[in-house]
Amino acid sequence: MALEYIGAITAIVAAVGAVAWTARKLSIIAKGLDNFLSDWNGEVSRPGVPGRRGVIERISNIEKEVTINGGKSIKDAVLEMRVQYAVIASKLDEVARLQHPPVQVSIHNPQSTPEIIEVRTEPNNLELDKRG
């Protein structure tokens, strides 16, 4: 008779353990789902804790920054910098041309017609323009 009670008690303890283990796993899943939903929907501020915007609101703010809107977005700033870069690059090209003007060299080969070669010397660049 004592063995029957020990077997029954063991079965009950095993069943309670299985239920407790399952409940623990389900609570972990529920907590993760709750965290996901609070991140997705956002949270209102409460005393001592600032509110958080939801995912949809954050995505709409990102869309505003990557869309041209008359000077207030990051994309507008990048386009303005691109224009300024083009202006600066063209001015630097002009300065380089003024500092390194082309030199004309006349080469006379008795067996052919004279050639004039225009040589442009720029830093790390050498261009030849043959003119006959």
- DSSP character string of 27-82: HHHHHHHHHHHHHHH-B--BTTB--B--HHHHHHHHHHHTS--SSSSHHHHHHHHH
Q: Are residues 6 and 50 in the same domain?
A: yes
Q: Are residues 48 and 61 in the same domain?
A: yes
Cα distances from 78 to residues 22, 29, 67, 81, 92, in angstroms, run 54, 44, 11, 5, 21
pTM over 0.75: no
Element (H, E) at 119: strand 115-122
Q: Are residues 52 and 37 in the same domain?
A: yes
Coil, helix or strand at residue 113: coil
pLDDT band at 18 (very low <50, low <70, confident <90, very high): very high
pLDDT band at 132 (very low <50, low <70, confident <90, very high): very low
User: Mean pLDDT over residues 15-39, rounded?
Assistant: 94
38 is in which domain, residue-wise? Answer: 1-65
Which of 23 and 128 is assigned the larger pLDDT?
Answer: 23
Indicate the average pLDDT of the chain: 81
User: Two tokens at 132?
Assistant: 């006959």
Q: Are residues 59 and 76 in the same domain?
A: no
User: How many domains are there within the chain?
Assistant: 3
Contact of 2 with 8, CB cutoff 8 Å: no
Q: Are residues 94 and 57 in the same domain?
A: no
Q: Are residues 3 and 38 in the same domain?
A: yes
